[in-house]
Amino acid sequence: MYNRRTAVKNIAKTIAGVVAGNILLATPAIAVNDHPVPVKGNDGDFVIINAGIGGNTTKDLLDRVEKDCYVHKAGLTILMAGTNDMNSVKYIPLRQYEQNMRELAKGILARKSKLIMMTILPCHEPDLLTRHPAAFYEPEGIAGRRKQVNELIKKIAADYKAHLIDLEHRFNAVGKISDDKDSLLKNLANSNKRDGIHPTANGYRFIALSVYDYLIDHKIPYHKTVCFGDSITKGDAENYPGYLKALLKGV
């Protein structure tokens, strides 16, 4: 039987291990050659599929949803998308973004999969603006545009009675989004590059812990789970689906 006090205590121990510099042992769900690869536990009890591909917008997700998501007939789908839709290179207007997200949510739920939607992460604006012109985000600004996207995600989740994890709030509250080396987003101090968008290894651990706690707290079945999204889902050698796998193996 699930005991929230015990679960929170275990999560606290995991975070403490991360802070102390320990490595969270995991079998990463790595998308090799841009093709989602399922990772099975040794006991074969459950499967987590990392269906993230870097650079994807919601249009890209719609183009591949049949072969990379629906085909798995998963009992649970975790959807995170929108970061690329709002940049200057692959911009998708807000109205079209909403339409795309609604189509994704509707399609996933129509296939009897439970759906968790996650808000997009905050960003460190000085780093983001090394790649995208500030004028592109006017008049609402970067923070204003991200707010619009996340408000839509929350509205769509409510409309379709999907689950919601507000990662933006969590990262803003405790992620130290800045130039600091302890930031949960990559920056010059912790990754030797001005990124400001993608999570660090600890950032991916934090996402995995957030999802894990939500799954356990809400008793959501995870026998077969598809994590569907862009590079923040795909990750690199480390990613949130892989860390989620490690956490769930102990349940």
Would you list the domain boundaries of the chain? Answer: 4-248
Distance CA(224)–CA(233), nearest Å, equals 16
pTM for the model stands at: 0.84
The pLDDT tens digits for 133-169 are 999 999 999 999 999 999 999 999 999 999 999 999 9
* Core vs surface per residue 20-31: b (16+ CB within 10 A) or e: eeeebebebbbb
Count other C-beta atoms under 10 Å from residue 192's C-beta. Answer: 9
Is 39 strand, coil or helix?
Answer: strand
CATH of 4-248, one of 3.40.190.10, 3.40.50.1980, 3.90.1200.10, 3.40.50.1110: 3.40.50.1110
pLDDT band at 44 (very low <50, low <70, confident <90, very high): low
H/E run at residue 48: strand 47-52
The pLDDT tens digits for 60-83 are 999 999 999 999 999 999 999 999
pLDDT band at 52 (very low <50, low <70, confident <90, very high): very high
Q: pLDDT higher for 111 or 42? A: 111
